[in-house]
Amino acid sequence: MERKSKMRFWQTLFITVIAALIVPFVVPNYAMTIVVEALIWGLFAMSLDLLVGYTRLYSFGHVAAYGLGAYSSALLILHFGIPTPLVILLATGISTLIAVPIAWICTRTHGVTFAMLTLAFAQLGYAMLFKFKDITGGSNGLPGVTRPDGPFGLDFFQYRTGYYYMVLAVLIGSFLICRVIVNSPFGKALSGIRENEVKTQALGYNVRNYKWLVVVIAYMFGSLAGALYAPFAGFASPELFFWFISGTVLIMVIIGGSGTLIGPIIGGIFFLMLEHYLSEITQLWPIFFGSIFILFILFAPKGIWGIRASVLQKIKNKLSENGNASS
């Protein structure tokens, strides 16, 4: 059974990758901007799912990871002009190092206090953008973030299609890494913390160290999303540190289905696509979007991925009933 499940997973992943590879050939060039941004948001939402879905750590300041990655990436490009892939790696590394003490402090608390403390660090980062405006540009941000040539003078990543393929590769690679993490003994310990933290600690696990490490990992993938965004958008602005984005990405996780990894990715893509569509047809799009979110909470609390699983289970049960009836 487990072998069949793994085979089905790899078959589904293969089909998804093939479909994603042909997207630039069937989607208009102007729409590729939305597609790339949706993939980046999907990666960002998946990073938060490591906290919310697998450890039940509700972070209201996860935007700090996104903002750190974006500003680190923008500053590296503006001041050093090194190739885009290397910029993204360095920006993610710098942001992850900054996340280590932040995670250490935040995980000294629990529940609502943890959430408020993460929000406080995000707001601190937002305030520092204006304090050190000679470096960060203040309210103007950092415009003119052009994508440098790649290795050996290759300009592949300067084009939307090339950047799309890079973001797609990063998203798929990040998903596979996160899947290994949550299925490992470390991931099982996180699930134990999510279900019963006191019992997990009684079993001999150092709960705080596990939470500290998962926060750092979540920040790493969140900052990776931010590092991808700044070179693509061509700027880094203070809004990338604003608390509103933390709420937005949390909605993406809930709509997609927390605790699944793939669900938040779908939720991020769904959110951005729907937002762009509704904003084009009406100025009242936040009302409609809010209504859709309420409907998900009331009738589909497990999100889009949960709806899929429920439908497949019903089909499987129906086929099983028909098979038993015919025999």
Helix axes 63-80, 111-131, angle to 10 degrees: 30
Q: What is the CATH number of the domain that holds 258?
A: 1.10.3470.10
Chain segment 174-189, per-residue pLDDT in tens? 999 999 999 999 999 9
Burial class (CB in 10 A: 0-12, 13-18, 19+), 193: buried
- Domain-located, residue 22: no
Tell me the pLDDT tens digit for each residue of 13-51: 899 999 999 998 998 888 888 999 999 999 999 999 999
Distance CA 173, CA 221 (A): 11
Residue 170 counted as domain residue: yes
**By percentage, how much of the chain surpasses pLDDT 70?**
94
> pLDDT at residue 149 above 70?
no
Say whether pLDDT at 308 is over 90: no
Whether 244 maps to a domain, the answer reads yes
Write out the residue range of the structural domain in which residue 265 sits: 31-286
Asked if the structure places residue 1 within a domain, the reply is no
Across residues 285-314, what is the average pLDDT? 86
Looking at the 3D structure of the chain, how many domains does it have?
1
Does 144 map to a domain?
yes
Q: What is the pLDDT of residue 114?
A: 94
Q: Tens digits of per-residue pLDDT, 83-127?
A: 888 999 999 999 999 999 999 999 998 889 999 999 999 999 999
* Of 244 and 264, more confident: 264
Residue 2 pLDDT exceeds 70: no
* pLDDT at position 30: 80
pLDDT averaged over the chain? 89
Residue 326 covered by a domain: no
| Residue 156 pLDDT | 59
Type of residue found at 191? S
| Mean pLDDT on 280-301 | 85
276 lies in a domain? yes
All residues at 6 or more sequence positions from 71 whose CB lies less than 8 Å from its CB, including other chains: 129, 136, 142, 226, 230, 236, 240
Domain-embedded: residue 87: yes
Answer yes or no: pTM beyond 0.75.
yes
